[in-house]
């Protein structure tokens, strides 16, 4: 090769390295202000179906009915989600009408309104948002929270697209009160969701078990009453975690068990424990997945991100609860050391598992994580969160996560929290007969059914459930259906949703947090 050709190659390689340098997007700055609206920036006006009210009505009157005329001409009715940009109307440089429908404005509706205000407004770098009529003192904070969640983006790997920082101002009757509510109670949630989405969006070559641990340590730096520990391979060997270790052994990047412990209540109060599946890339292992769509399997660590970020949120907002995140971190690869179909693994519980498919790895890593959770923490409540099965997607689409529990009261709490936060879950059965599909000739159980199996999500839940003591209040969330979106929703951009943080936050607020 000629010297100049070599030099050209070197320059090309250097350019690739350079353009991959992170240039993280600045998050949306959120502020609160009083009633006065600026005329030279974008003003977002809520419009309910059936007539103008509040600021929109006042601006319409001041402009001799200009808003109503524009709405009529455009066929804008105020249905939830409808938007209409207007320029130079009624003395305002830029107005954005956002429909809020005709129903009472719930938290989810307010968040969606805030998200639309932040994402649909164009033209100016500051967006001024009017709070809908007839809402309570928490409404401005919900709007701000929705705006923060909806404006999330992940563009660190794009070169030359640094977007200007944007500012969102919520105009509230009592801005000091609104700001205090937001900062204390909701901003930590939006920040924690962004932390988790960043982890999930990272490709497999940028995020592996030890890197996940490192980023978690960075995120918790300076947060009070928290300890972050990571069990390495020798530590897990000592505890006999043969299932988690088995999944990790096909990769050059060793597995970890990450434990984040937040103490926000009495020393003797049992904690709430969230255990997450953290497969930083799921190739399927020796039971290799088909190539098409495999790139999506970087999101197979969403459960771990959700569990960790849930505790980050609780710690940052100073929730009066003890809470633990346990992230079962491994990369599922078909390296020379990989486990094979037919292998028998011994779990920390002592139970043995015959591996049928190495692609059913989530339940393997979680079996050791939930055993560790129960032995060490004796949890008040144990929730495991996992992108566990393709079957739950087939059953529920991307509208619901699958919920499994043997405890009706716990199931109801989770269903309610899901509904309140817009992170909807649908309960699916744990029929005792699912155990029949996973009896093994050689070990205590099989990791998955042999051949064509039905009720795949239920069988996955059944395997995890066989490591849960009957007295442990437990719920399993199969989030494979909702962890990644191909089409954006108002507060969930395309890509990583980090589903479950809002739901689990609400669950704690309603049932596990001291007042
Ligand atoms: N990570 C996958 C499940 C998954 C599929 C998540 C699609 C998100 C989108 C999981 O590890 C897996 O491969 N499950 C198998 C289980 C089977 C081998 C019993 C599946 O669902 O096919
Ligand atoms: Zn997986
Ligand atoms: Mn798999």
The whole-model pTM stands at 0.94
Of the listed 289, 351, 378, 406, which one is catalytic?
Answer: 289
The band of 20, judged by pLDDT with boundaries at 50, 70 and 90, is very low
What is the percent of the chain where pLDDT is above 90?
Answer: 91
Which bound ligand lies closest to the C-alpha atom of 283?
A: 3
Phi, psi of 382 (to 5 degrees): -120, 120
Nearest to 459 by CA among 430, 425, 426: 430
How many CB atoms are closer than 10 A to CB 214?
A: 12
pLDDT digits (tens, 9 = 90+) for 145-172: 999 999 999 999 998 766 777 899 999 9
Nearest CA to ligand 1 atom 3: 389
Task: Return the pLDDT at 8.
Answer: 53
| 336: Cβ contacts below 8 Å, ≥ 6 apart | none
The band of 18, judged by pLDDT with boundaries at 50, 70 and 90, is very low
Q: Mean pLDDT score of the chain, rounded to an integer?
A: 94
The band of 15, judged by pLDDT with boundaries at 50, 70 and 90, is very low
pLDDT digits (tens, 9 = 90+) for 485-513: 999 999 999 999 999 999 999 999 999 99
Task: Return the pLDDT at 23.
Answer: 45
Residues with CB under 6 A from ligand 1: 282, 300, 357, 359-362, 387, 389-391, 448, 456, 480
Phi, psi of 317 (to 5 degrees): -95, 5
Atom nearest to 453 CA in ligand 1: 19
Beta-bridged to residue 274, according to DSSP, are 325, 383
DSSP structural state of residue 253? S
Dihedral class, residue 11 (left if φ above 0, else alpha if ψ from -120 to 50, else beta): alpha
State the residue for tokens 């949120």.
313
- How far, in Å, are 12, 28, 49 from residue 44 at the CA level? 46, 16, 16
384: helix, strand or coil? strand
Find out whether 271 and 277 touch, Cβ atoms under 8 Å.
no
- What's the CA-to-centroid distance between 332 and ligand 2, angstroms? 8
| 352: Cβ contacts below 8 Å, ≥ 6 apart | 344, 345, 346, 443, 444, 445
Q: Encode burial over 318-329: b for 16+ CB neighbours within 10 A, e otherwise.
A: ebebbbbbbbbb
The answer, yes or no, to whether residue 339 has pLDDT greater than 60, is: yes
- What's the CA-to-centroid distance between 86 and ligand 2, angstroms? 47
Of the listed 316, 363, 446, 492, which one is catalytic?
Answer: 363
Task: Return the pLDDT at 107.
Answer: 97
């Amino acid at each position: 090769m000629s010297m100049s050709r070599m030099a050209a190659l070197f320059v090309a390689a250097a350019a690739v390295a350079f353009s991959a340098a992170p240039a993280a997007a600045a998050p949306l700055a959120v502020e609160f202000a009083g009633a006065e609206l600026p005329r030279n920036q974008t003003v977002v006006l809520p419009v309910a179906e059936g007539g103008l009210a509040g600021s929109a009505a006042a601006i319409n009157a001041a402009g001799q009915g200009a808003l109503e005329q524009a709405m009529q001409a455009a066929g804008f009715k105020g249905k939830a989600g409808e938007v209409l940009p207007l320029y130079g109307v009624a003395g305002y440089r830029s107005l954005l009408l956002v429909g809020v429908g005709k129903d009472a404005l719930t938290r989810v509706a307010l968040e969606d309104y805030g998200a639309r205000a932040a994402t649909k407004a164009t033209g100016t770098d500051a967006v001024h948002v009017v709070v809908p009529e007839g809402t309570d003192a928490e409404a401005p904070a919900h709007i701000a929270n929705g705006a923060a969640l909806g404006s999330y983006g992940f563009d660190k790997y794009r070169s030359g697209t640094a977007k200007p920082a944007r500012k969102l101002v919520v105009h509230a009757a009592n801005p000091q009160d609104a700001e205090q509510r937001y900062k204390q109670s909701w901003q930590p949630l939006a920040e924690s969701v962004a932390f988790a989405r960043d982890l999930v969006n990272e490709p497999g070559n940028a995020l592996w078990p030890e890197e996940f641990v490192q980023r978690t340590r960075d995120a918790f730096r300076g947060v009070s009453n928290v300890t972050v520990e990571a069990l390495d391979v020798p530590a897990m060997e000592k505890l006999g975690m043969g299932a988690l270790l088995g999944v990790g052994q096909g990769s050059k990047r060793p597995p970890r068990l990450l434990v984040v412990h937040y103490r926000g209540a009495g020393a003797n109060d049992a904690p709430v424990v969230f255990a997450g599946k953290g497969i930083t890339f799921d190739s399927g292992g020796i039971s290799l997945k088909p190539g098409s769509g495999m790139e999506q399997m970087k999101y197979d660590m969403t459960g771990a991100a959700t569990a960790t970020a849930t505790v980050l949120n609780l710690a940052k907002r100073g929730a009066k609860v003890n809470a633990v995140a346990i992230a079962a971190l491994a990369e599922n690869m078909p390296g020379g050391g990989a486990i094979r179909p037919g292998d028998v693994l011994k779990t920390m519980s002592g139970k043995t598992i015959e591996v049928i498919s190495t692609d059913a790895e989530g339940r393997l890593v979680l079996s050791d994580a939930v055993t560790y959770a129960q032995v060490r923490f004796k949890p008040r409540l144990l929730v495991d969160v996992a992108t566990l099965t393709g079957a739950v997607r087939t059953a529920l689409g991307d509208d619901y996560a699958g919920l499994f529990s043997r405890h009706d009261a716990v199931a109801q709490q989770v269903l309610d929290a899901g509904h309140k936060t817009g992170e909807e879950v649908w309960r699916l059965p744990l029929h005792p007969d699912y155990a029949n599909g996973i009896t093994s000739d050689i070990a205590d159980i099989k990791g998955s059914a042999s051949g064509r199996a039905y009720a795949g999500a239920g069988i996955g839940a059944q395997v995890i459930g066989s490591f849960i003591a009957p007295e442990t209040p437990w719920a399993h969330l199969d989030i494979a259906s909702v962890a990644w979106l191909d089409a954006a929703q108002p507060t969930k951009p395309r890509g990583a949703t980090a589903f479950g943080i809002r739901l689990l936050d609400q669950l704690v607020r309603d049932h596990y947090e001291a007042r």
